[in-house]
Copies of this chain bind each other. A is one copy, B any other.
Amino acid sequence: MKKVIGIDLGGTSIKGVVMGEDGAYGEALRIPTEAYKGGEHVLASIMSLIGELLGTVGDQPVAGVGIGTPGFVDGDGTILGGAENLPGWKGVQIYAPITERYGLPVAAANDVTAVALAELKFGAGRGVKNIVCFALGTGVGGGIVIDGKLYAGSHGMAGELGHIVVETGGLQCACGQNGCLERYSSATGIVRLAIDYASSADVDTPFARLVRKNPAEITAKIVYEYVAQADSLAMKVHHTACEMLGRAAGIMMNALSPDRIVLGGGVMMAGDIITNTVKTYAARSAWPAIFERCEVVPAQMGEDAGVMGAGALALERF
């Protein structure tokens, strides 16, 4: 059976697996990223992890390496930017050194795009051809699969869905625009909404009092604990976050008429309440005939989605 290596580069750790054609893999190996040491150090760590993984396969041939990385990757394997958590990663050429040392072809893609591919092959996108994934984490990432294949755009930059404007003249975003999706529906955005909404003293709910007392300790998880108790302030935050995501989902439905919109990332630990609410709002933002033919579903892959997507990328290419 064909085997490939999948690498998931994160701000904290680098994970790697050896994966078979069926998506099966053994235990993931993990090393610290030590991002502060710079881009060349990160590349050296990836290379040594690949060496370690190759050591586990014995004589079995490996067809190639897939890598999921924050930011954008150009067609030749150069990091173009967009990876703010990895200083010095921009400009690094990642294909040539790996191919030179190990004689293996390499394919890299944005980490969320890789997750989208994992969902397509093994998770919430199985059996269909076109999906759009929103990853709700610290920011909002996007991954697009077209005709069963990862769509990276002309320069590896497609899927910048967190910066779709969903509220004209809305909240200021670090990117310079106002009203970006990320400002409302990421974990960070949800927490900021909570702090903002709770700032008025005449909002008096258990959640509002907690936020006013410990604003620095509020997380999206805590917001959804109060949503589960139907706290009216937490519900208001939830509805804003889901309405904005519903608008973006509606836009993507109108543009691409995909089979499924897949919602993933840490925020989705809150479960079906988000999927269902987003769906309600998306219905108002999409052409009805398109909406009727597009499901809104939660991601199915757990924390290994990144390495699985990277492996799937290598399986697809090599």
Contacts and interface: CB of A to CB of B under 8 A. Distances in A.
B256 A144 contact: yes
A197 interface: no
A157 to B, nearest CB: 4
18 contacts: A80-B289, A147-B151, A152-B257, A153-B258, A154-B257, A154-B293, A155-B293, A156-B257, A157-B287, A158-B257, A160-B254, A160-B255, A160-B257, A165-B250, A177-B285, A251-B251, A251-B255, A255-B255
A258 B146 CA distance: 14
Scoring A81, A165, A166, A259 by chain B CB atoms within 10 A of each residue's CB, the highest score goes to A165
B259 A157 contact: no
Given A82-B289, A168-B170, A175-B287, A255 B252 contact: yes
A68 interface: no
A144 B250 CA distance: 17
B289 A81 contact: yes
Interface in A171-203: 175-177, 179
Q: Give the copy number.
A: 2
A33 interface: no
Nearest to A179: B168
Given A81-B289, A285-B177, A287-B175, A251 B165 contact: yes
Contacts of A254: 160-161, 163-164
Interface of A: 72, 80-82, 128-130, 142, 144, 146-147, 151-161, 163-170, 175-177, 179, 247, 250-252, 254-259, 284-285, 287, 289-290, 293-294
A165 B285 contact: yes
B285 A159 contact: no
Nearest to A153: B257
Nearest to A294: B154
A91 to B, nearest CB: 13
A128 to B, nearest CB: 7
A81 B285 CA distance: 18
Contacts of A284: 176-177
Contacts of A251: 164-165, 251, 255
Contacts of A250: 165
A275 to B, nearest CB: 19
A155 B255 contact: no
Scoring A80, A155, A170, A250 by chain B CB atoms within 10 A of each residue's CB, the highest score goes to A155
A72 to B, nearest CB: 7
B255 A165 contact: no
Nearest to A151: B146
Given A72-B289, A80-B289, A257 B157 contact: yes
A166 B254 CA distance: 13
A169 B80 CA distance: 36
